[in-house]
Structure 1
Amino acid sequence: MKNNKTVIIAEAGVNHNGSLQNAYKLIDVAANCKADYIKFQIVDASVISTNAKKAKYQIDKKNKTESQFSMIKKLEMNWFKIHPLLIKKCKKKNIRFLTSIFDTGWINEIKKLNLDYIKIPSGEINNYPLLKSVANLNKKVLLSTGASKILEIKDAIDFLFKNGLKKKILL
């Protein structure tokens, strides 16, 4: 990202609802809006307790008893297969691809994608095993801080650098 230009990141997140076609549509919309990047999230129900409850904002009026696990399970895609397809579509539409990573199990996949930035969500700023794995990749980092206190941000930055990160961190 250049210092003299505001960079727009379109948040696709999980709004694809588990559908590759929806993901393609999100890329089309973001590119048509002239966003510089589009960011998805790797959703992996295997790291969620089957008893986890949804946050208040996630509760669907039609299905109030659905668990967090069940909801996330519906959003999963075969990311090993899907990432290259999304990246190809992004290149065709002249928009860059990003994805948020929530756990260390996806580090090798992210490494293979050779992305401009490794995106760490704000909820993972204290996930030191993840931060250590990201630092070892030695790629530029986008560190979200929305849910964080100043000390947590400082600690995460210090930890990344102490664990081998030599690239810049954008907050």
Structure 2
Amino acid sequence: MDHGQNEYILPVSPGVDSYVLTTNSSGIFIPNSIVSPGQPVRFIGTQVGTHRVDLTVTNVCGSSTSPIFVRVENCGLGGTTLDNFAVTVTPNPTNTGNVSVKVENDKLISYTIISMTGQELYSTMVDFPEEEITLDTKQLSTGLYILRTNLESGNTAVNKIIVKN
């Protein structure tokens, strides 16, 4: 998996009702963990390495779980560097009530804050493309969050935000 994100289409299997993907790894994030056969599963890598994802297949006979190993090859903890740009989040971890998001060699046009359960907590477009914005984290509970930023060039960056209240 390169550039911090990837999609995989689960094959259509006769009689399968659903697929459920879970992981205990903090190095990979699965925004939508319950999918129907033939639907894309999006993995977002937040840490380089090989990460285990458990795939549970359910049908009328019951369910079974098998491991899938996902290799993340390019991403960053404090910042995502892709092609010719970088996105950094500081301070991280934060206990100040806000974080600064800086983009080098590109401009931010929108961002989404996602909980570790995959719930989009906040999503917005900025009024004008920006190289730096400040995000208010006071409404977030202590924990780990994913920040997905969309850039003017069409690139997407993914960063972790650690909130300590």
Confirm or deny a common fold (TM above 0.5): no
Higher strand share: 2
TM tier, smaller = under 0.3
